Amino acid sequence: MAIRTVGVLGCGLMGSGIAQVAAASGYKTIVREVNDAALQAGMARIKKFLADGVAKGKVTEEAHNKTLGNLTGTTNTADLKECDIVIEAIVENLDDKRAIYQAVEAAVKPETIIASNTSSLCITELASATGRPDRFGGLHFFNPVQLMTLVEVIRALTTSEETGKTLTEFAASLGKEPIAAPDRPGFIVNRLLVPYLLDAIREYERGLGTIEDIDKGMKLGCGYPMGPFTLLDFVGLDTTYYIANIMFEEFREPRFAPPPLLKRMVLAGYHGRKTRRGFYTY
Ligand code: CAA
Ligand code: NAD
């Protein structure tokens, strides 16, 4: 199936990155947010990333203008009607995702593929919430989408061969490296990454070291680009908490359980960089 127009649901951390990359790759891209304020914040994030890219000599003026020219923002789901694929990147919550799929299906063509960027929810369950379980799959991007080259492609039990192939080819057309991942919570990367991040919080609570020293240890001792607390703030503590709950629900193993400190920080509104306060202050 030929993809020309891409819809993105959510213009938060991930949706803004996905929309930027799709537009930069030549697709007409329409990104949908819940209200004008959220849309403007997401669009501003895209414009800043592009402007920084130009200033760093990584993005040409031409690519900057082409990307913005291909991109439209909306708060109206009906504006997605021409989309050949809609990538959902809204909050990690099953009910919210189900509700938005219903609204999208009322607007788009029968052949349109819907893909979720979920970090941990069951792709088969999401697919079953739509009237097109064969034209549904997981496309899991990594943060920051503009710089991370991996995309996990997840087929639901119901995903058709053609949809799976289209999703893989589409990810490659964005300049990404697709890998096939199983429909299990966390897929491949988060299955290994999330217990590590949760363990860092638990061990910090048990007095392993300061936040700064644990981060420095993993960064300088292992060559990781970010220590666990910097990465937690970067991913979002709210998103990490939702992911941990979903993974614990499925596996019932203590290592996936959200540590008490994470829960309390989320309840206090300390969601990491996006709220300017997490394990660090920004
Ligand atoms: N436009 C274009 N290019 C840009 C840019 C911009 N605005 N900003 C930076 N770049 C380029 C830089 O020029 C540089 O390119 P070169 O390597 O060619 O020199 C490269 O991007 C790296 O940029 P910086 O040197 O400025 O930044 P950095 O070295 O500090 O790296 C980072 C930043 C890539 C984010 C790095 O810190 C990193 O990899 N962190 C870990 C991120 C990670 O683990 N993400 C996964 C999170 S988990 C997830 O996403 C899944 C989930 O479901 C939760
Ligand atoms: P975020 O909180 O930064 O953004 C979510 C955005 O979705 C918000 O701007 C919100 O206003 C918007 N939204 C909520 N309901 C909506 C709706 N009905 N229609 C349109 N927009 C709506 O979250 P995020 O980090 O971008 O995460 C989004 C999804 O991507 C989640 O499923 C998450 O698990 C997944 N993900 C996150 C990361 C990460 O590192 N943060 C990485 C990979 C995947």
- Asked whether residue 234 falls in the same domain as residue 265, the answer is yes
- Asked whether residue 50 falls in the same domain as residue 100, the answer is yes
> Could you tell me the CATH number of the domain that includes residue 220?
1.10.1040.10
Q: Which of 16, 92, 140, 271 is catalytic?
A: 140
Q: What confidence tier does 1 reach under pLDDT thresholds 50, 70, 90?
A: confident
Domain that holds residue 46: 5-181
190 flagged as catalytic: yes
Residue 157 pLDDT > 80: yes
Give the pLDDT confidence of 97-153 residue by residue, as tens digits.
999 999 999 999 999 999 999 999 999 999 999 999 999 999 999 999 999 999 999
Which structure tokens are listed for 172? Answer: 């490659």
Q: Give the span between the Cα atoms of 66 and 47, in whole angstroms.
A: 12
- Asked whether residue 251 falls in the same domain as residue 194, the answer is yes
Q: What confidence tier does 7 reach under pLDDT thresholds 50, 70, 90?
A: very high
- Asked whether residue 38 falls in the same domain as residue 144, the answer is yes
Contact 28, 4 (CB under 8 A): yes
Distance 133 CA to ligand 1 centre (A): 34
Q: Is the CB of 147 inside a 6 Å radius of any atom of ligand 1?
A: yes
Contact 232, 278 (CB under 8 A): yes
Distance 144 CA to ligand 1 centre (A): 6
Nearest CA to ligand 1 atom 1: 53
Give the pLDDT confidence of 27-63 residue by residue, as tens digits.
999 999 999 999 999 999 999 999 999 999 999 999 9
Instruction: Give the pLDDT of residue 169.
Output: 98
- Asked whether residue 114 falls in the same domain as residue 216, the answer is no
- Asked whether residue 115 falls in the same domain as residue 15, the answer is yes
- Residue 92: CB atoms within 10 A of its CB come to 22
Instruction: Give the pLDDT of residue 252.
Output: 96
Nearest CA to ligand 2 atom 29: 89
Distance 148 CA to ligand 1 centre (A): 7
The pLDDT of 83-88, averaged and rounded, is 98
Q: Give the span between the Cα atoms of 141 and 153, in whole angstroms.
A: 9
Instruction: Give the pLDDT of residue 160.
Output: 98
- Asked whether residue 112 falls in the same domain as residue 215, the answer is no
Q: Give the span between the Cα atoms of 43 and 168, in whole angstroms.
A: 27
Strand partners, 73: 31
64 flagged as catalytic: no
Give the pLDDT confidence of 204-260 residue by residue, as tens digits.
999 999 999 999 999 999 999 999 999 999 999 999 999 999 999 999 999 999 999
Instruction: Give the pLDDT of residue 211.
Output: 98
- Asked whether residue 226 falls in the same domain as residue 161, the answer is no
Phi then psi for residue 5, to 5 deg, are: -120, 130
Residue to mutate, 46, 58, 67, ligand 1, most ligand atoms under 8 Å from C-beta = 58
User: Is the overall model pTM greater than 0.85, yes or no?
Assistant: yes
Quick check: is 152 in a domain? yes
- Asked whether residue 203 falls in the same domain as residue 86, the answer is no
Q: Which of 117, 119, 120, 271 is catalytic?
A: 119
33 flagged as catalytic: no
Q: What confidence tier does 196 reach under pLDDT thresholds 50, 70, 90?
A: very high
DSSP strands (E only) in 190-273: none
Quick check: is 218 in a domain? yes
Dmax over CA atoms of the chain, in Å, equals 55
Q: Select from 149, 181, 213 the last residue of a domain.
A: 181
Instruction: Give the pLDDT of residue 256.
Output: 96
Quick check: is 280 in a domain? no
Quick check: is 282 in a domain? no
- Asked whether residue 203 falls in the same domain as residue 174, the answer is no
Average pLDDT of the chain to the nearest whole number = 98
Contact 127, 164 (CB under 8 A): no
